[in-house]
Structure 1
Amino acid sequence: MTLQAQLYFSFRSPYSYLAIGRYRALADMFDVEIDLRPVYPLAVRQPDFFERNHPNWLGYTMRDMIRVAQFHGIPFGPPKPDPIVQDMKTRTIAEDQPHIYRITRMGQAAAREGKGLVFADEVARLIWGGAEGWNEGDHLKNAAEKSGLDWDALTRTVVEDAEGLDAEIAANQEALEASGHWGVPTLVFDGEPFFGQDRIEMVLWRMNEKGLAER
C-alpha cells in the first residue's frame, strides 16, 4: 500500500532546502507519495517577524544552516539573489518582491502536475546551492524540464492563473496550521506533523510502523 504524506515548504527557507533532497530520496526508495505544499515565507506572511526576534537569532540560524549542510554533505552557498529582497542590517522587508511570488507560484503549479517535490528540490539546489543568478537565463527552465514539466505551460499558468495559485498557496498555509504547526519544513503523515530538517529519521520510523515498503 502506497503511503501518503504532505510536505509544507518555502523556497526562502534554508532548512526546507536542507530537507527536501532527503525527502525526495526517501520517496524514490520507498513506496510513499510526498505531495509538495508550497507556502509563502514568513517574510511575506509576517514582515515584522525578523524585527521581533532576538538579536542573536539571525546569526545563530546562519551558523546552524551552514553546519547542517556540512554535516550532511549538502552543497550550500548564499542565494544569489535572495528570493526575498531584505535589508539584512535592519531586517526590513522590501515592499517590491520580484522573486518569491513567481517561484512559489511555479512550485504550486508543479504540485498540480504531481511534480512538486522534484521541482522544488531542483530549484532549491539552484537557490541554496550557490547558483549565480538562479532567476536568470535557463536555470529555472532546465530545472522544470529535469522535473518532467513543460516550461512554456508552467510559465503560462503562473501568469494567467496567479490568483488561483495564490488561493491554493493560502489553503496550504491553513492546512499546515490545522495540522498542528506553522513553520517549514513540516511533513504531515497520517495526521501527525514533523517539523524541521532533523525529523526525517523520525518520519521514517513512523512510516515503518505503518507498513512502509521499499519500491
Structure 2
Amino acid sequence: MTLEYDLFWSFRSPYSYLVTPRLLAFEREYDVKCNVRPVYPIAVRIDGFFKQVNPMWPPYLLKDTMRVAEMEGLPYAWPSPDPVRMDMKSGEVPKEQPYIHRLTRAGVAAAETGQGLAFLKEISSVIFGGVKNWHEGDHLKEAAARAGLDMDALDRIVEEKADSLEAVIAANEAAQKAAGHWGVPLMVFEGEPFFGQDRLSHLKWRMEQKGLKRR
C-alpha cells in the first residue's frame, strides 16, 4: 500500500527549496506519495509578522540556509527579486504582491496535474539558485518544462481560475494550522506534523513503522 503525506510548502521559504530534492529522491526510492499543498509565506499570511520578529533571526537564517545548501551541494542565493515584496528594515509588507500570488497559484495548478513536487523543485531552483531576475524572460518557462509542464498554460489557469485556486490555498493553510504548525516545509503523515527540512528522517522513520517499502 502506498503511504501518503501532505507537504505544506512556500515559494519564499529557503528551507522548502533545500528539502525538495530530498523529497523527490524519497518518492523515487520508496512507495510513497507526496500531496503537494502550497501555502502563502508567513510574511503574507500573518500581518505584521516581520515587525515583531527577533532581529537576530534573519541573519541566522541566512547563515544556516547557506550552510545547509553547501552540505547538500545545492546552488543558493537569496532571491533577486524577493518573491515577497517588503521593506526589510521596517518589516512592512504591501498588499500588492506581483510575484507570490502567481507562484503559489501556479503551484496549486501544478499539483492538480500530479507534477507538483517536480514543479516546486524546478521553480525553486531558479528562484533560490542564484538566477537574477528569475521572473523575467524564459526562466520560469524553462523550469516548468523541466518538470514536464507548460508555464504559459499554468499562467492561463492562474488568471482564469484565480478564485478557485485561492480557495484551495486557503484550505491548505487551514489544514496546515489544524495539523499543529504554521511553518514550512511541513510534512504531515496521518495527522502527525514534521516541521523543517531536517525532519525528513523522522518522517521516514514513522512511515517505516507503518510499513513503508522500497520501490
- TM-score w.r.t. structure 1 length? 0.96
Shifted more, 129-138 versus 166-175: the winner is 129-138
SS in 1 for 2:159: helix
Shifted more, 113-122 versus 136-145: the winner is 136-145
Shift of 1:104: 0.5
Q: Which ranges of structure 2 fall in alignment gaps of 5 or more residues?
A: none
Q: Which ranges of structure 1 fall in alignment gaps of 5 or more residues?
A: none
Tell me what 2:181 maps to.
181
Counterpart of 2:155, as a letter, is T
What are the Cα deviations for residues 131-179 of structure 1, in whole angstroms up to 9, with x where unaligned? 1211111111112222122333211110000111000000000011111
Tell me what 1:138 maps to.
138
Shift of 1:72: 2.0
What are the Cα deviations for residues 6-62 of structure 1, in whole angstroms up to 9, with x where unaligned? 100000011111111111111111110101100001111113111111121211111
Tell me what 1:45 maps to.
45
Number of residue pairs matched by the alignment? 215
Percentage of matched positions with identical amino acids: 52
Counterpart of 2:80, as a letter, is K
Tell whether the 8 Å contact from 2:13 to 2:184 is kept in structure 1 after alignment.
yes
Question: In structure 1, what is the Cα distance between the partners aligned to 2:15 and 2:177?
Answer: 18
Question: In structure 1, what is the Cα distance between the partners aligned to 2:203 and 2:156?
Answer: 36
SS in 1 for 2:7: strand
Shifted more, 87-96 versus 126-135: the winner is 87-96
Question: In structure 2, what is the Cα distance between the partners aligned to 1:117 and 1:7?
Answer: 9
Shift of 1:126: 0.5
The ranges of structure 1 where at least 4 consecutive aligned residues each deviate by more than 4 angstroms after the TM superposition are none
Counterpart of 2:39, as a letter, is V
Tell me what 1:55 maps to.
55
Q: CA RMSD in A?
A: 1.2
Tell whether the 8 Å contact from 2:102 to 2:155 is kept in structure 1 after alignment.
no
User: Does structure 1 residue 104 correspond to structure 2 residue 104?
Assistant: yes
What are the Cα deviations for residues 43-91 of structure 1, in whole angstroms up to 9, with x where unaligned? 1111311111112121111111111212222211121111011122222
Question: In structure 1, what is the Cα distance between the partners aligned to 2:168 and 2:12?
Answer: 18
- TM-score w.r.t. structure 2 length? 0.96
Question: In structure 1, what is the Cα distance between the partners aligned to 2:191 and 2:46?
Answer: 26
Counterpart of 1:193, as a letter, is P
Question: In structure 2, what is the Cα distance between the partners aligned to 1:151 and 1:96?
Answer: 22
> CA separation of 1:62/1:151 partners in 2, compared to 1, >3 Å: closer, same or farther?
closer
